[in-house]
Amino acid sequence: RKVVALTGAGMSAESGVPTFREAQTGLWAKYDPQELATPEAFRRNPARVFSWYASRLQAARRATPHAGYAALVSLERFYAGGFTVVTQNTDGMHSRAGSGSVIELHGSMEAFRCVQCRHPYPSDAVLELAASDHEVPPPTCSKCGNFIRPGVVWFGEMLPGDALERAGQAAQAADVALVIGTSSLVYPAAQLPSMVIAGGGKVIEVNPETTPLSSQADVSWRATAGEALPMLVEALTREVH
Ligand code: APR
Protein backbone atom coordinates (compact mmCIF):
# COMPACT_ATOMS: atom_id res chain seq x y z
CA ARG A 1 0.00 0.00 0.00
CA LYS A 2 2.93 2.33 0.57
CA VAL A 3 5.66 2.50 -2.05
CA VAL A 4 8.73 4.68 -2.27
CA ALA A 5 10.90 5.04 -5.39
CA LEU A 6 14.50 6.03 -4.62
CA THR A 7 16.18 7.25 -7.79
CA GLY A 8 19.68 8.24 -8.85
CA ALA A 9 21.59 9.30 -11.94
CA GLY A 10 20.85 6.00 -13.73
CA MET A 11 17.17 7.04 -13.85
CA SER A 12 18.07 9.85 -16.24
CA ALA A 13 20.69 7.94 -18.24
CA GLU A 14 18.27 6.79 -20.97
CA SER A 15 17.05 10.36 -21.41
CA GLY A 16 20.61 11.44 -22.16
CA VAL A 17 21.14 13.70 -19.13
CA PRO A 18 24.92 13.79 -18.64
CA THR A 19 25.99 12.54 -15.19
CA PHE A 20 28.85 13.72 -13.07
CA ARG A 21 30.92 10.64 -13.47
CA GLU A 22 30.67 10.74 -17.26
CA ALA A 23 33.30 12.49 -19.32
CA GLN A 24 32.46 16.16 -19.78
CA THR A 25 32.23 17.68 -23.22
CA GLY A 26 33.06 20.95 -24.97
CA LEU A 27 34.09 23.85 -22.78
CA TRP A 28 33.99 21.62 -19.68
CA ALA A 29 36.09 18.69 -20.93
CA LYS A 30 39.17 19.80 -19.01
CA TYR A 31 37.52 20.00 -15.57
CA ASP A 32 36.79 17.32 -13.01
CA PRO A 33 33.11 17.74 -12.07
CA GLN A 34 33.76 16.64 -8.49
CA GLU A 35 36.00 19.68 -8.21
CA LEU A 36 33.38 22.05 -9.62
CA ALA A 37 30.58 20.94 -7.30
CA THR A 38 31.93 22.40 -4.07
CA PRO A 39 31.50 25.68 -2.14
CA GLU A 40 35.27 26.24 -2.42
CA ALA A 41 35.15 25.96 -6.21
CA PHE A 42 32.37 28.58 -6.31
CA ARG A 43 34.33 30.93 -4.06
CA ARG A 44 37.47 30.44 -6.18
CA ASN A 45 35.80 30.80 -9.56
CA PRO A 46 32.14 31.81 -9.42
CA ALA A 47 31.86 32.35 -13.19
CA ARG A 48 33.13 28.87 -14.00
CA VAL A 49 30.88 27.05 -11.54
CA PHE A 50 27.81 29.17 -12.37
CA SER A 51 28.28 28.66 -16.11
CA TRP A 52 28.80 24.93 -15.69
CA TYR A 53 25.50 24.59 -13.83
CA ALA A 54 23.76 26.72 -16.44
CA SER A 55 25.02 24.35 -19.15
CA ARG A 56 23.88 21.30 -17.13
CA LEU A 57 20.45 22.85 -16.65
CA GLN A 58 20.24 23.52 -20.36
CA ALA A 59 21.13 19.86 -21.11
CA ALA A 60 18.50 18.66 -18.61
CA ARG A 61 15.83 20.93 -20.13
CA ARG A 62 16.58 19.55 -23.60
CA ALA A 63 16.18 15.95 -22.43
CA THR A 64 12.83 14.18 -22.77
CA PRO A 65 11.75 11.97 -19.87
CA HIS A 66 11.74 8.30 -21.01
CA ALA A 67 8.98 5.70 -20.52
CA GLY A 68 10.26 4.82 -17.01
CA TYR A 69 9.26 8.30 -15.79
CA ALA A 70 5.74 7.87 -17.13
CA ALA A 71 5.63 4.49 -15.38
CA LEU A 72 6.37 6.16 -12.04
CA VAL A 73 3.55 8.63 -12.72
CA SER A 74 1.23 5.65 -13.31
CA LEU A 75 2.39 4.06 -10.05
CA GLU A 76 1.56 7.27 -8.21
CA ARG A 77 -2.01 7.03 -9.52
CA PHE A 78 -2.16 3.31 -8.77
CA TYR A 79 -1.12 3.72 -5.12
CA ALA A 80 -3.16 6.92 -4.71
CA GLY A 81 -1.70 8.85 -1.79
CA GLY A 82 0.79 6.09 -0.96
CA PHE A 83 3.56 6.73 -3.49
CA THR A 84 6.59 8.99 -3.09
CA VAL A 85 9.62 9.58 -5.29
CA VAL A 86 12.83 10.39 -3.41
CA THR A 87 15.51 11.46 -5.84
CA GLN A 88 19.18 12.32 -5.66
CA ASN A 89 18.90 13.92 -9.09
CA THR A 90 18.80 17.66 -9.51
CA ASP A 91 17.53 17.71 -13.11
CA GLY A 92 13.83 18.20 -12.28
CA MET A 93 12.84 15.38 -14.66
CA HIS A 94 10.42 13.61 -12.29
CA SER A 95 8.30 16.73 -11.87
CA ARG A 96 8.54 17.54 -15.56
CA ALA A 97 7.30 14.02 -16.36
CA GLY A 98 4.27 14.58 -14.11
CA SER A 99 5.16 13.02 -10.75
CA GLY A 100 3.48 15.04 -8.00
CA SER A 101 5.06 13.69 -4.82
CA VAL A 102 8.80 14.24 -5.30
CA ILE A 103 11.43 14.82 -2.61
CA GLU A 104 14.67 16.25 -4.04
CA LEU A 105 17.39 15.25 -1.59
CA HIS A 106 20.21 17.06 -3.40
CA GLY A 107 18.24 20.18 -4.33
CA SER A 108 17.39 21.27 -7.86
CA MET A 109 19.20 22.91 -10.77
CA GLU A 110 15.95 24.81 -11.38
CA ALA A 111 16.18 26.57 -8.01
CA PHE A 112 18.90 29.24 -8.23
CA ARG A 113 19.15 31.49 -5.16
CA CYS A 114 21.28 34.07 -3.37
CA VAL A 115 24.32 32.65 -1.54
CA GLN A 116 23.56 34.93 1.41
CA CYS A 117 19.86 35.66 1.85
CA ARG A 118 18.57 32.73 -0.26
CA HIS A 119 16.30 34.99 -2.32
CA PRO A 120 15.30 32.95 -5.41
CA TYR A 121 16.42 33.76 -8.94
CA PRO A 122 14.50 32.49 -12.01
CA SER A 123 16.22 29.67 -13.88
CA ASP A 124 14.96 30.96 -17.25
CA ALA A 125 16.95 34.15 -16.62
CA VAL A 126 20.03 32.01 -15.82
CA LEU A 127 19.73 30.28 -19.19
CA GLU A 128 19.46 33.60 -21.01
CA LEU A 129 22.56 34.96 -19.27
CA ALA A 130 24.62 31.86 -19.92
CA ALA A 131 23.49 31.24 -23.49
CA SER A 132 26.94 31.91 -24.96
CA ASP A 133 29.73 29.36 -25.00
CA HIS A 134 31.74 31.42 -22.50
CA GLU A 135 32.06 31.53 -18.78
CA VAL A 136 29.86 34.35 -17.45
CA PRO A 137 29.85 35.71 -13.91
CA PRO A 138 26.78 34.89 -11.82
CA PRO A 139 24.12 37.58 -11.53
CA THR A 140 23.74 39.32 -8.17
CA CYS A 141 20.84 39.29 -5.76
CA SER A 142 18.29 42.11 -6.17
CA LYS A 143 17.85 42.21 -2.37
CA CYS A 144 21.37 42.07 -0.96
CA GLY A 145 23.79 42.21 -3.90
CA ASN A 146 25.51 38.87 -3.26
CA PHE A 147 26.08 36.24 -5.94
CA ILE A 148 23.37 33.90 -7.19
CA ARG A 149 24.26 30.19 -6.88
CA PRO A 150 22.59 26.95 -8.02
CA GLY A 151 20.18 25.45 -5.48
CA VAL A 152 21.91 22.10 -5.39
CA VAL A 153 23.72 20.38 -2.53
CA TRP A 154 27.46 20.58 -3.12
CA PHE A 155 30.02 18.10 -1.81
CA GLY A 156 30.67 18.94 1.82
CA GLU A 157 27.28 20.63 2.33
CA MET A 158 24.39 19.46 4.46
CA LEU A 159 21.30 18.03 2.78
CA PRO A 160 18.11 20.09 3.25
CA GLY A 161 16.85 18.91 6.66
CA ASP A 162 13.15 18.85 5.81
CA ALA A 163 13.71 16.81 2.62
CA LEU A 164 15.86 14.31 4.49
CA GLU A 165 13.30 13.99 7.26
CA ARG A 166 10.40 13.44 4.84
CA ALA A 167 12.49 10.91 2.90
CA GLY A 168 13.24 9.02 6.13
CA GLN A 169 9.56 8.96 7.04
CA ALA A 170 8.60 7.67 3.57
CA ALA A 171 11.29 4.97 3.82
CA GLN A 172 10.23 3.81 7.29
CA ALA A 173 6.57 3.64 6.28
CA ALA A 174 7.18 1.87 2.95
CA ASP A 175 5.95 -1.65 2.28
CA VAL A 176 8.11 -1.66 -0.84
CA ALA A 177 11.03 0.45 -2.06
CA LEU A 178 12.05 0.57 -5.69
CA VAL A 179 15.72 1.59 -5.76
CA ILE A 180 16.38 2.73 -9.31
CA GLY A 181 19.62 3.78 -11.00
CA THR A 182 21.75 4.61 -8.00
CA SER A 183 25.18 3.28 -7.13
CA SER A 184 24.07 3.26 -3.44
CA LEU A 185 27.43 4.73 -2.49
CA VAL A 186 26.61 8.31 -1.53
CA TYR A 187 25.27 8.90 1.99
CA PRO A 188 22.84 9.69 3.52
CA ALA A 189 20.67 8.67 0.52
CA ALA A 190 22.33 5.24 0.48
CA GLN A 191 21.04 4.54 3.95
CA LEU A 192 17.33 4.86 3.04
CA PRO A 193 16.96 1.22 1.84
CA SER A 194 18.19 0.01 5.27
CA MET A 195 15.43 2.11 6.85
CA VAL A 196 12.90 0.40 4.59
CA ILE A 197 14.21 -3.02 5.63
CA ALA A 198 14.23 -2.03 9.32
CA GLY A 199 10.58 -0.94 8.97
CA GLY A 200 9.67 -4.38 7.58
CA GLY A 201 9.48 -3.34 3.90
CA LYS A 202 10.84 -5.11 0.83
CA VAL A 203 13.51 -3.71 -1.46
CA ILE A 204 13.51 -4.10 -5.23
CA GLU A 205 16.62 -2.80 -6.96
CA VAL A 206 16.54 -1.85 -10.64
CA ASN A 207 20.06 -1.46 -11.99
CA PRO A 208 21.95 -3.08 -14.88
CA GLU A 209 25.01 -3.37 -12.58
CA THR A 210 25.62 -4.91 -9.16
CA THR A 211 25.84 -2.41 -6.29
CA PRO A 212 26.57 -2.65 -2.56
CA LEU A 213 22.78 -2.87 -2.08
CA SER A 214 22.29 -5.86 -4.41
CA SER A 215 23.01 -8.54 -1.80
CA GLN A 216 20.56 -7.03 0.71
CA ALA A 217 17.74 -6.38 -1.77
CA ASP A 218 14.84 -8.82 -1.88
CA VAL A 219 14.90 -8.56 -5.66
CA SER A 220 17.83 -7.31 -7.68
CA TRP A 221 16.53 -6.74 -11.19
CA ARG A 222 19.33 -6.37 -13.72
CA ALA A 223 17.58 -4.07 -16.15
CA THR A 224 17.49 -0.43 -17.08
CA ALA A 225 14.88 1.94 -15.68
CA GLY A 226 13.38 2.47 -19.15
CA GLU A 227 12.90 -1.29 -19.60
CA ALA A 228 11.92 -2.40 -16.12
CA LEU A 229 9.48 0.25 -14.92
CA PRO A 230 6.99 0.05 -17.83
CA MET A 231 7.06 -3.78 -17.46
CA LEU A 232 6.32 -3.47 -13.76
CA VAL A 233 3.34 -1.19 -14.37
CA GLU A 234 2.05 -3.51 -17.08
CA ALA A 235 2.27 -6.53 -14.81
CA LEU A 236 0.55 -4.72 -11.92
CA THR A 237 -2.26 -3.47 -14.14
CA ARG A 238 -2.77 -6.93 -15.62
CA GLU A 239 -3.02 -8.47 -12.15
CA VAL A 240 -5.65 -5.97 -11.02
CA HIS A 241 -7.93 -6.40 -14.09
N1 APR B 1 18.85 2.31 -15.61
C2 APR B 1 19.08 2.06 -14.30
N3 APR B 1 20.29 2.22 -13.72
C4 APR B 1 21.29 2.63 -14.49
C5 APR B 1 21.14 2.92 -15.86
C6 APR B 1 19.84 2.73 -16.42
N7 APR B 1 19.61 2.98 -17.71
N8 APR B 1 22.34 3.34 -16.35
C9 APR B 1 23.19 3.33 -15.32
N10 APR B 1 22.57 2.90 -14.19
C11 APR B 1 23.13 2.75 -12.85
C12 APR B 1 24.61 2.50 -12.78
O13 APR B 1 24.87 1.11 -12.87
C14 APR B 1 24.97 3.06 -11.41
O15 APR B 1 24.84 2.09 -10.40
O16 APR B 1 22.95 4.01 -12.23
C17 APR B 1 23.91 4.16 -11.19
C18 APR B 1 24.45 5.59 -11.25
O19 APR B 1 25.32 5.78 -10.17
P20 APR B 1 25.96 7.20 -9.83
O21 APR B 1 26.46 7.83 -11.08
O22 APR B 1 26.87 6.98 -8.68
O23 APR B 1 24.69 8.07 -9.42
P24 APR B 1 24.01 8.28 -8.02
O25 APR B 1 23.91 7.01 -7.25
O26 APR B 1 22.75 9.03 -8.29
O27 APR B 1 25.04 9.27 -7.33
C28 APR B 1 24.71 9.82 -6.11
O29 APR B 1 26.57 11.35 -6.15
O30 APR B 1 27.43 12.34 -8.05
C31 APR B 1 26.90 12.59 -6.78
O32 APR B 1 25.41 14.18 -5.86
C33 APR B 1 25.62 13.33 -6.98
O34 APR B 1 23.33 12.72 -6.62
C35 APR B 1 24.60 12.22 -6.99
C36 APR B 1 25.17 11.24 -5.98
Q: What is the pLDDT of residues 82-105, one digit of tens each?
A: 999 999 999 999 999 999 999 999
Distance CA 164, CA 170 (A): 10
Closest ligand 1 atom to Cα of 90: 34
- Over residues 106-153, the pLDDT tens digits come to 999 999 999 999 999 999 999 999 877 789 999 999 999 999 999 999
Residue 150 Cβ contacting ligand 1 at under 6 Å = no
**Centroid of ligand 1 to alpha carbon of 205 (angstroms):** 12
Q: Would you say the pTM of this structure is higher than 0.85?
A: yes
Average model confidence (pLDDT) across the chain: 94
Neighbouring CB atoms inside 10 A of 31's CB total 15
Q: Is any atom of ligand 1 closer than 6 Å to the C-beta of 87?
A: no
Which residues neighbour 135 within 8 Å (Cβ) at sequence distance 6 or greater? 27, 47, 48, 51
Distant-in-sequence, close-in-space partners of 141: CB < 8 Å, separation ≥ 6: 114, 116, 117, 119, 121, 147, 148
